[in-house]
Every structure is written in C-alpha cells, then in structure tokens.
Amino acid sequence: MTVSAQNVPVIAIDGPTASGKGTVAQRVARHLGWSVLDSGALYRLTALACMQKGVADTNETQAAQVAAGLNVQFDNGAIFLDDRDVTEAIREEPVGVFASRIAAFGAVRQALLERQRAFQQPPGLVADGRDMGTVVFPNAPLKIFLVADVAARAERRCKQLKEKGFPANLTSLMADLQARDERDRTRSNAPLVSAPDAITIDSSNLTIEETVNAVLDHWSKSGA
C-alpha cells in the first residue's frame, strides 16, 4: 500500500451476520461518494471456489491457496468468479456456513488481507465485515460496531432470502445465526469483537435509514 493510500479515510463497520452492515455500508458509501468493501463477499467467494473445487472446509492449506488465487471482479454491485456471475450464488446459506468455517483459518485470513487493503482508494472507503476496525484497517478514523438482537437479524435474513427466491425457515435460520455468531466470536484468529475505539450502534429497533443517519452523524462529528 502506498503512503497516500494509507491516508485515505476509512469507515469500518463490523458486526455479526445479518446485522444490516452490508446495506448500511452501501448507503453510507453512496452518500459520501466513496467506494465500499464487502469483506464477507471475499470469504464467501473463497468458500464457493472451495466447494466447486472439492476442497473440504477443514483443509486450511488448500483453502488458503484458493483464497490467494481467487480470480474475482466487483463490477457495479455484480460479483464475478472466473468470469461467472456469482452475485446471488454466494449469498446462499450453505456458502455462508462454509465461509464462516474457513474464515477461522489464519492462513485464509492472511491470504485475503492485502486484497482487502487494496480497496483503500481515494476519496474514501466504507468497509464492512468482522475485523475491519481491529485488523484490516486499525487506523480507520471511524469504527462502528453494528449489533442487533438475534430474532431481528433472523427475520431480516429470512426476508432477504425469500425476496431472492431462496427457501428460508425462521427457526433454522435463528439456530444457524447463533452457531455462526458463536464461531465468529470465539475463533482465535481475528474474532468478531468490537475495537476498543469503536462506537456501538444497536439497530434492532432502527430502520436502515435511521442506522445510516446515525453512522453519517458520527462521521460528521468525528471531524476526520
């Protein structure tokens, strides 16, 4: 990374799965005219590529090789893996579960680190994930930890999946989210934790718009 890239402002938005991070990050970025990094998509892309190549979710070395060799393009909201549009495919639950498993491997995280940092380009970046404020962009001038209770998140995820035409069941989604939260929080490599200097926003009872405004408010108050 060049010195000038390091000076490009980053808003880091971390939080558990289905907390609304992705949508909030997109809207904050749009409002500021900045770009966005959906870091979860990189873990999902690695997962999908492993699934296609028959790499097991227990094989750290091979999963890290897949991560290092990913051929991906992000194009106006569409995501391509080896020139194939996988925008929808990476959102399927089995891919998310596989992603959460291989995301626990240090070698996979290391393989994706510089790829993520390369997104720090002028005029600014909104980065969403689990470790944006703690590991990938520790100098981000604004760090948000976005939480929501598990029932609210399961309902949102259920609605999202149904809108996309995927099957969804609220009870099993809730169990799935809890298991995934537990794995993301307790892994030894870059666990899902709030950075000490992060601001926590609980979006359980907030609309997307209210959450976006809260982030923008913190950004204007930060004076960065």
Query: How does DSSP assign 65-89, residue by residue?
Result: HHHHT--EEEETTEEEETTEE-TTG
DSSP codes joined into one string, 174-219: HHHHHHHHHHHHH-SSS-S---TTPEEEE-TT--HHHHHHHHHHHH
Return the number of the residue (20 or 124) whose C-beta is nearest ligand DC. Answer: 20
Of all helices (H) and strands (E), which one includes residue 146? strand 142-147
Binder to ligand DC among 8, 11, 13, 17 (CB under 6 A)?
17
CB-nearer residue toward ligand DC: 78 or 221? 78
Told to check if 99 binds ligand DC by CB under 6 A, we report yes
Minimum gap (Å) between residue 137 Cβ and ligand DC: 11
The first and second tokens of residue 135, run together, are 């590991």
Q: Does 130 bind ligand DC (CB under 6 A)?
A: yes
Residue (136 or 212) nearer to ligand DC, CB: 136
Q: Is 180 in the site for ligand DC (CB under 6 A)?
A: yes
Q: How far apart are CA 33 and CA 214, in angstroms?
A: 17
Stretch that binds ligand DC, among 81-89, 99-107, 143-151, 201-209 (CB under 6 A): 99-107
Distance CA 60, CA 68 (A): 12
3-state SS of 23-43 is HHHHHHHHHHCCEEEEHHHHH
Q: Is residue 131 a contact point for ligand DC (CB under 6 A)?
A: yes
Among 129, 152, 177, 214, binds ligand DC (CB under 6 A): 129
- Name residue 14's beta-bridge partners: 129, 145
Name the one range near ligand DC by CB under 6 A: 58-66, 75-83, 92-100, 212-220. Answer: 92-100
Taking phi first (over 0 means left), then psi (-120 to 50 degrees means alpha), and beta for anything else, what does residue 155 get? alpha
**Is 96 an interacting residue with respect to ligand DC (CB under 6 A)?**
yes
Q: Quick check: 20 binds ligand DC (CB under 6 A)?
A: no
Tokens of 79: 């995501």
- Residue 9 interacts with ligand DC (CB under 6 A): yes or no: no
* Minimum CB distance to ligand DC, residue 221 (Å): 25
Choice from 9, 11, 50, 184 touching ligand DC (CB under 6 A): 184
Helix axis angle, 60-68 to 106-117, nearest 10°: 10
Instruction: Give me the residues that bind ligand DC (CB under 6 A), please.
Output: 17, 39-40, 43-44, 96, 99-100, 103, 129-131, 180, 184
